[in-house]
Amino acid sequence: MPVSTAIIGTGNIGTDLLIKIQEKSKTLAVAAFVGIDPGSDGLARARQLGIPTTSDGIEGLVAMDVFDDIEIVFDATSAGAHQHHDQVLRSHGKRIIDLTPAAIGPFTVPVVNGDANRNEANINMVTCGGQATIPIVAAVNSVAKVHYAEIVASIASKSAGPGTRANIDEFTETTSQAIESIGGATHGKAIIILNPAEPPMVMRDTVYCLCEGGHEAAIREAVEARVTEVQQYVPGYRLKQSVQFERLGSNQPLYIPEMDRQFTGMKVSVFLEVEGAGDYLPTYAGNLDIMTSAAVRAAESMAEGSFAP
């Protein structure tokens, strides 16, 4: 029997989660779809699919007949709302997958630290940039110590809703922290670019790692293997070109202002593209698709008892 889940938040992310689970997951089923706007497109779609809905928020969810059977709850609302949702849901013994910037639970990227976090009551899915780039930083760090990692996430302006635009600072801070705590870099930096190009561009991510030691072949193999792992749940995740290397010698060191030091060693550059699956969101919205895909994978892994792809 599929594990019963609920989704709180009926916007783009919540609705994409709904479609992904209902159409693709063999492990999960949506038992309740929860919002606060009775006229939202997401609630209308859920009703068409025959899924129980409520527009009374978390209180409405708790009052639903199906609530006792629900094991996992996705929260696709806001950081402020999640604080309250977490308290209510934990008091009822529910497990939570947080897609907001609240970060009450540990940062989780399924292919990197999913196994370590699969028994947590609440896990946080970091950011879209984090889900796309932290697997690469961690892969490089597994074979060559990463002292500095910088990521640049470029997304279509049309795929950045009000929530994304209001939380740019949280994006950079959260992603930078996770580059260090999950990716293993001594220092991490994140940059996001909203590109207004028409037609809208798919998500592009650039990862720069400054490493000590390591061999090019080993780094390239680790990165390519990690890309294959992520593709198991995000098929549109791919390398745009081969991994690039540059040696920085003592005759021309690179100064890193954030670390206030000069760096010598190896610079690794990885260029990625993330195309969405087009389940509910347009294919150019890979930034949103990788978040929902990672969240579904995390929930399936909780249900299966392992995060292995």
pLDDT at position 306, please? 53
Is residue 128 part of the annotated active site? The answer reads: yes
Is-above-0.85 flag for pTM? Answer: yes
pLDDT at position 259, please? 86
- Those residues with Cβ within 8 angstroms of residue 132's Cβ, 6 or more apart along the chain or in another chain: 153, 203, 205, 237, 272, 274, 286, 287, 290
The residue from 103, 128, 137, 151 that is catalytic is: 128
Q: To which H or E segment does residue 145 belong? A: strand 145-156
- Whether residue 257 is preceded by a cis peptide bond, meaning omega within 30 degrees of 0, is no
Q: Are strands 145-156 and 187-195 parallel, antiparallel or unpaired?
A: parallel
**CA–CA gap between residue 45 and residue 148 (Å, rounded):** 45
pLDDT at position 215, please? 95
Which residue, 184, 208, 226, 221, is CA-closest to 271? 208
Domains, the chain, in order of start with CATH, read: 3-104 (3.40.50.720), 128-283 (3.30.360.10)
CB 283 within 8 A of CB 234: no
Question: To the nearest 10°, the Cα dihedral for 14, 20, 25, 29?
Answer: 40
Q: pLDDT of 137-184, one tens digit each? A: 999 999 999 999 999 999 999 998 777 887 788 889 999 999 999 999
Q: pLDDT of 244-269, one tens digit each? A: 999 999 888 999 998 888 999 999 99
- Those residues with Cβ within 8 angstroms of residue 246's Cβ, 6 or more apart along the chain or in another chain: 266, 267, 269
